[in-house]
Amino acid sequence: MPSPSHVPVLLDRVVALVAPPLQRPGSVLVDATLGLGGHTEEVLTRCPEARVIGIDRDVHALELSRDRLAPFGERVTFVHAVYDEVGDVLDELGLTHVDGVLFDLGVSSMQLDVRERGFAYAEDAPLDMRMNDTTGPTAAQILNEYPVEELARILKWYGEEKFARRIAEAVVRERAKEPFTRSARLVDLVRDSIPAPARRTGGHPAKRTFQALRIEVNDELSVLRRALPAAIEAIGVGGRVVVMSYHSLEDRITKHAFAEATRSEVPPDLPFVPEGSEPALRLVTRGAEKASPAEIEQNPRAASVRLRAVERVRAAGAVA
C-alpha cells in the first residue's frame, strides 16, 4: 500500500467532478494517468456502477496500482500506454465513447520517491527521468548530445528559467571534459550558473532545469496537446474531461483546448443562439480551481495544482 506521502491531490473535488455521469450502470471512466491509483480507488468506491480503464506509461506504476486496486476485480482494466493514445485504447477495447477522462499531469510521487529514476534534484541519482523507463532517450543523453541552442530553448520554455543560456553554455563546456551521468553534478552546475541573489528566491535553483529536462524527455507538452482533443472526442453526452495541471505551460494548453471546445460559432452581436448552434461542451469549473490552504498544508504537492473540467452537453453535430 502506498505510504502516507502518496495522498491524491484534490481527491474529494476530483471525485465530485467525475462522479455525476458515473452513476449509471455500465459507465466508464478513463484514468489516463493512473499512477498509484488513488483517484481511481475512490471513484470505484463511491461510484459502484462504474468501471475504470487505467492508463499509464510507467510499468512500475501499473504494477503497484494492480495490487492496490485488486479488490475491485474486473471493474478495472489496466493498459500500458501514453495518454495521447486514449483513442486507440478505446478502439481496441471496442468502446465508442466513455463517461469521463481524468488527467493528473506531471511527475508522480512514486517517481520522485524512487531515487534511481532520477526525477528528484534533492538526491544524487542517474540522470534518467523517463516515465516509461523501457524506451526513449534519458536526461543524460539530452544533456550530452543537444547543441547549446536547443538546450537553452528547452530550459527557457519548459523550465521558464531566466538563466537558460548561461546554464546551457556551462553544460556544453563541462560535458566536453566528462559526460553527464548523475544528478548531483548537474545540480552543482546549475547552482554555480545562477547569480547568488537569484539563488535566494524561487525555491531550489535546480527545480526549473529538472522540470525542463523531464518535460523534454517525456515529450509531455506535445502529448498533452494531442491527448486533450482525443479525450474530448471520446466522451459521450454528460461525460466530463477533468485535468489537473501543475505548471503554467500545462494549464495554458488545457485552458486553450477547453476554450476551443466550448466556443460558440454564433456571432457575438446576434441577439439569440439558434437552436442547434450551442457549443457541444460547457465549462464545469470557473477558471482554474486551486487547492485550499488546509489541503496544501496536508499535501504540499497540491500547492501548484490547477483544476479544470468540461462536460459534453450534446453530441457532436446533433441538433439540441
Condensed to tens digits (0 to 9), the pLDDT of residues 121-130 reads 667 889 998 9
* pLDDT in the model for residue 45: 97
CATH number at residue 280: 3.40.50.150
Do 200 and 245 sit in the same domain of this protein? no
Final residue of a structural domain among 169, 187, 218: 218
Query: Would residue 55 count as lying in a domain?
Result: yes
Instruction: Please say if the pLDDT value at position 78 is more than 50.
Output: yes
pLDDT band at 295 (very low <50, low <70, confident <90, very high): very high
Annotation-wise, does 121 bind a ligand? no
Residue 275 has pLDDT above 90, yes or no: no
Residue that is last in its domain, among 192, 218, 244:
218
Between 267 and 208, where is the model more confident? 208
**pLDDT over threshold 90, residue 262:** yes
pLDDT in tens, 151-174: 999 999 999 999 999 999 999 999
113 is in an annotated binding site: no
- Domains: count for the chain: 2
Same domain membership, residue 213 and residue 236: no
What does 62-88 look like in DSSP terms, one character per residue?
A: HHHHHHHTGGGGGGEEEEES-GGGHHH
Query: Can you give the pLDDT at residue 10?
Result: 95
Is 111 annotated in a binding site? The answer is: yes
Question: Is there a domain that residue 116 lies in?
Answer: no
Does 56 carry a binding-site annotation?
yes
Q: b/e map of 182-195 (b: 16 or more CB within 10 Å)?
A: ebeebbebbeebbe
Mean pLDDT of 265-274: 58
pLDDT of residue 108: 54
Q: Per the annotation, does 287 bind a ligand?
A: no
275 in a domain, yes or no? yes
39 labeled part of a ligand binding site: yes
Residue 35 lies in a domain: yes
- Domain enclosing residue 243, as ranges: 11-104+220-312
Q: Is 35 annotated as contributing to ligand binding? A: no
